[in-house]
Structures are given as structure tokens and as C-alpha cells.
Amino acid sequence: MTKSTFWPDIAAKAKSEHRPFFTMAPMEAVSNTVFRQVIAKAYAPDTFFSEFVYAKGITDPTTKFPVDGRLYVDKTESKKPVVQLWGNIAEDFESAGQAIQSQGFPAIDINTGCPDKTVIKNHGGSDLIRHHDDLIKIVQAAKKTDLAVSIKTRLGYSKAEEFKEWIPFLLEQHVDLLTIHLRSKMEMSKVPAHFEVIDDIIKMRNEIAPETLIQINGDVEDFQAGLKLAKEHPGLDGIMIGRGVFYNPFAFEPVSKNHSLDELLGLLRMQLDLFDKFATHYDVPRFPSLKRFFKIYARPELGATDLRNEMLQANSTDEVRKILDDFQSK
């Protein structure tokens, strides 16, 4: 464990409200300052995670995986996110942690679950499931800062059954928080999350590292689903939502409400403005990366299929605004 009270404080506040804590998952080209502000406008989770950040890139701008705007935090954000780091060199995590701490971030998360081929090829993400010695060194290096240290992982590399050895090993590292995506690397997101192992994981935690908080990720779409899951599995501390925000940007709302198309398009307009503002600081991400978000707002069930298809043909934020103006003026 670290001396940081970051995660215990979050857990204590949630517990006082008789619920698990909720976080938004680290997602490549999604969890940056722009989308964090949009989700916060809709309804903020207890805390956010950053995009994936290559540990070495924080102190070495010449790497092939530059940080660019991944650590940018807009002054309007109420708090800085947890920084998720990937890589496999302990020294990189130590230097990255020191740099992140100096910038006022509260916590770092070690990525041992990403199934991306490029990340694995460079010995990060879920590749660490196969290299225990590297992970031990990384955790020790990360703990040399005053930051909270957590790990995000999967149940195993080839098979979900690997959790029986893998999770106890992680618990023996005594981090502040362990987040588990309830699938193996090979399963990707092609099978349902293995909710049936949650109680086994909680039992492992209670026996090996009772101070480590447990958070689960995978197939939890919104606050209500997370609350139900936590009630079904006493001892579960936190719920991380990832893809759920693509189905519903109001996923963290404690009381589910019906939201109009105009409300959703208002969030899209906010995202367009924030995107343009972000572009004045960094040359990434570029406009095509915005198109993945259109499906969040232009919902087929709200009669916006044609609107979404038209926006997908746009080449700039101004073109999208013009399309929205024409649509909403009808």
C-alpha cells in the first residue's frame, strides 16, 4: 500500500452514500480532456482515468509513442484524472511518476490489461500477464512516489481461468486499487464478462490484501447496473464504466432519466467547441477521430439516423455545426 489517501477517500465517500464508487475507464483517443468535460457536464463519475500514456514518453519526447495532449487538463476540470501508464521498464515508471507528481496528478494506474497488438508488441499492457518479474519491478518503482498506485488488468492472457493464479499474484503487490476487466486478453470483448468470478476475487482480496480496493470493469452500462452488481456481490468497492458511455453519456447519473435529442445534441455542440479549443494547444486528435462520437448523440431510437449519416460525411467541426443548425431549424 502507499501512503496516499486518494482511493480510500473516494471509497469512503461512496460508502457513506451506500454505493460503490464509479470511474470512467481509460480509453485510447477517448478519455482526454475534451470528452472528460462532456461526461462531467452530463454527470461526472467519482473520478476519471486518462488515456493510455507511454511511461517513457513522459520524460523522453523522442519516443515513438509521444504524450502529446494526453496529460493536458483544462482549467475548468474540477480535478485531475488518474494517469494510466503502460510500458515494461521499471525506471520509466519511476521517472514518469516523479514527473506526474510534480504536475499535481493524484494517482497512477499500471496498465496490465490492454489487448492492443502494438502495445503487446512493445511489451506493455496484457503482455505483462506473462512477465511477472517485470511487473514486480514496475510496482516497486511506481511506489517510490507519493502517488496512489493502482493496477488495471484482465482475468488472464489466454484463458479466464488464469485468474486463479494471476489475481492472487497481483494482490501480493499490495496496491491501493485493483481494477479487473472480467475477460481474458484473448476473449477481447467477444464474450460476456465473467461476473461469476467476482465473489472468488473478493475472497482472494480479503485473504491476501484486505486493504486493496477491488473495482470491476466490463459489460456494466450505467450507474443502476453497477449499483445492482455491487449489491449482489458484497465487498465489491468500485465500478468502472467504459463502453457504456457510448450508449449513454449520462451513464453515471444516479437516477436514470429520459434525455431528449436536443439535450444530446447540446452535448455534441459542447464537444465540438472543446475539440476546437483543444486544437489550439495540440495538433492531435484530428477531426476524423471525432466521428466515432457521433453515434453517442445522434441516436436511431430518437429518429437521428439520417443526421448521424450526414455528419459522418463532414470534414470539419464547422460543417457539423451547419448540419446541426439545418437539422434543428426544421
| Dist CA 121 CA 89 (whole Å) | 14
Q: What is the dihedral of CA 126, 129, 131, 132, to 10 degrees?
A: 140
What is the helix (H) or strand (E) element at residue 214, kind and residue range?
strand 213-217
Rg (C-alpha) for the chain, rounded Å, is 20
Q: Which residues are within 8 A (CB) of 146 and not within 5 positions of it... i.e. 6 or more apart?
A: 2, 3, 4, 101
Active-site pick, 114, 171, 236, 245: 114
Active site (annotated) includes residue 199? no
- Residue burial 32-52, b: 16+ Cβ < 10 Å; e: rest: bbbbbbbbbebbbbbbbbbbb
Asked if 249 and 42 count as a contact pair (C-beta separation under 8 A), the reply is: yes
Q: Which residues are catalytic?
A: 114
